[in-house]
């Protein structure tokens, strides 16, 4: 109880980290709902990895002296963000292009990109010990080092992404559920796909910079997967996923703070347990209902 009071106190030293965690916990599941809807669960796994390759590239180039930064105007964090965003957008554009031209099936495309990006990250970092340290922190999902500027960036980016998702929700849901009907209604399916992918890419690159790839794909996927068996409508699906993500981010933070564990993996493990229990409960319910 003391820990909870301490964490929720306005003077809490790590409040920026807590707020960022909360923002990501509330917003990432909303983006993840669309990945689950379109049966692109693995994109939620691969994109954060690809995004972190962008970070690795930026940090390596800086570390090897290919990029010079003037102190105070553009720090390494911003450089990492540029790398992350560039790779995310390139990856989603490439995936949209490959999907449009039906090159391989979805899982194969994403799997290949995933393993390539993971290998490239390690190759890039093989000769840059300083860059490797920064990347290792990302890999660990150590949220506590988040600064106020990170919080603002995360808040601003997610506000924009969520606003656009809300504004174009009808079109995006239509192309997700029934592409043929969308084409019949003369919707530009490729354009809406691209917009959705770009929003997903932006959300992921911002989240990766703040909390690392593991926590990002945890918050993207696990709340929607936990909620899906119980949600009756799209609205319930989105709201319940977001609420679960928000609650898990705070509870995970408190537990990690109390037991001195890394926050990100604690959040993901907590969500994993909730997801497992939810689906297990649904399985038991379906068995009970199917009894004569």
Partner 1 sequence: MPNEMSTRLDHLVAPDLVASGSLTLVAAPPSAAEKPILCAEQVTLAYGRRVVLSDVNLAIRRGEFWALLGPNGEGKSTLIKALLGAVRPTRGKIFLRADFQRRTRLALVPQECEVNPSVPTTIREFVLGGLVGITLERVQRDARLKAVLELMGIAHLPERSLWTLSGGQRQRTLVARALIRDPLLLIVDEPTAGLDLAAASSLLDAITSLSRDKGITIVFVTHDLSIAAKQATHAALFRGGKLTAGPLKEVFTPANLSRTFGVPVGVHHDDHGCVHVAVEQAHDANISSSPRP
Partner 2 sequence: MISEFLNSWPMFSQSYLAALFAGLLLSFLGVIVVARAQVFIAAAVAQASMLGIALDMLLGTGQPAAFAVAFSIIAALATGTRAQRSGTSHEEVTAWIFLLGASGSILLLAKHPNGLKSVQATMASSIIGAAAVDVVTFATLAAVVGGFVLVLRQRIVLFVSDPVMAAAVGMRIGAWSLGLATALGLSTGLVIRSSGLIFTFGCLVLPALVAKNLCREAGTMFFVAPVVCVASVLTGLVLANHYDFPPGQIIIALLAALLVGAWGWRKFRVVFGGV
Residues that bind partner 2 (CB under 8 A): 36, 39, 41-42, 44-45, 101, 103-105, 107-108, 110-112, 114-116, 118-120, 122-123, 126, 136, 139-141, 214, 217-218, 221-222, 225, 229, 260-262, 264-266, 268-269, 271-272, 275-276, 279, 282-283, 285-287
How far apart are alpha carbons 163 and 199 in whole angstroms? 10
- Residue closer to partner 1 by CB (options 72, 292) is 292
- Residue closer to partner 1 by CB (options 69, 108) is 108
180 lines the binding site for partner 1 (CB under 8 A): no
102 lines the binding site for partner 1 (CB under 8 A): no
Residue spans of beta strands (DSSP E) within the chain: none
Dihedral class, residue 246 (left if φ above 0, else alpha if ψ from -120 to 50, else beta): alpha
Window 272-291: residues binding partner 1 (CB under 8 A)? 287, 290-291
Q: Note the Cα 183 to chain centre separation in Å.
A: 29
Residue with tokens 């993207």: 220
How far apart are alpha carbons 136 and 134 in whole angstroms? 5
CB under 8 Å to 200, separation ≥6 — which residues? 31, 34, 35, 43, 47, 92
185 lines the binding site for partner 1 (CB under 8 A): no
Alpha carbon distance, N-terminus to C-terminus of the chain? 47
- Residue closer to partner 1 by CB (options 2, 290) is 290
Instruction: Look at residue 234 and give its three-state secondary structure.
Output: helix
- Residue closer to partner 2 by CB (options 96, 195) is 96
> Are the CB atoms for 176 and 199 separated by under 8 Å?
no
105 lines the binding site for partner 1 (CB under 8 A): yes
11 lines the binding site for partner 1 (CB under 8 A): no
For residues 188 to 227, the per-residue mask of contacts with partner 1, x marking binding by CB under 8 A and - elsewhere, is ----------------------------------------
What single-letter DSSP state applies at residue 254?
H
112 lines the binding site for partner 1 (CB under 8 A): no
Buried-state track 107-126, b at ≥16 Cβ within 10 A, e below 16 = eebbeebbeebbebbeebbe
Quote the least distance from Cβ 280 to partner 1, whole Å: 15
101 lines the binding site for partner 1 (CB under 8 A): no
Q: Which residues bind partner 1 (CB under 8 A)?
A: 105, 108, 287, 290-292
């Amino acid at each position: 109880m003391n820990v909870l009071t301490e964490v929720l106190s306005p003077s809490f030293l790590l409040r920026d980290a807590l707020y960022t965690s909360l923002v990501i916990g509330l917003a990432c599941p909303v983006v993840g709902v669309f990945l689950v809807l379109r049966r692109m669960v693995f994109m939620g796994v691969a994109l954060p990895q690809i995004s972190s390759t962008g970070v690795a590239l930026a940090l390596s180039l800086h570390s090897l002296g290919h990029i010079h930064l003037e102190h105070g105007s553009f720090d390494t964090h911003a450089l990492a963000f540029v790398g992350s965003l560039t790779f995310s957008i390139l990856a989603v554009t490439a995936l949209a292009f490959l999907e449009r031209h039906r090159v391989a099936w979805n899982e194969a495309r994403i799997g290949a990109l995933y393993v390539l990006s993971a290998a490239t990250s390690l190759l890039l970092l093989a000769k840059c010990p300083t860059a490797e340290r920064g990347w290792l922190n990302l890999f660990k999902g150590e949220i506590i080092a988040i600064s106020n500027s990170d919080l603002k960036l995360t808040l601003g980016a997610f506000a924009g992404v969520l606003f656009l998702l809300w504004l174009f929700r009808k079109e995006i849901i239509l192309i997700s559920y029934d592409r043929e009907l969308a084409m019949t209604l003369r919707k530009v399916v490729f354009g809406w796909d691209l917009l959705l992918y770009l929003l997903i890419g932006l959300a992921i690159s911002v989240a990766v910079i703040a909390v690392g790839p593991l926590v990002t794909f945890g918050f993207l996927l696990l709340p929607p997967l936990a909620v899906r068996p119980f949600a009756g409508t799209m609205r319930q699906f989105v709201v319940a996923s977001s609420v679960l993500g928000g609650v898990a981010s705070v509870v995970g933070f408190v537990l990690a703070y109390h037991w001195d564990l890394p926050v990100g993996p604690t959040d993901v493990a907590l969500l994993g347990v909730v997801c497992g229990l939810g689906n297990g409960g649904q399985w038991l319910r379906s068995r009970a209902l199917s009894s004569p």
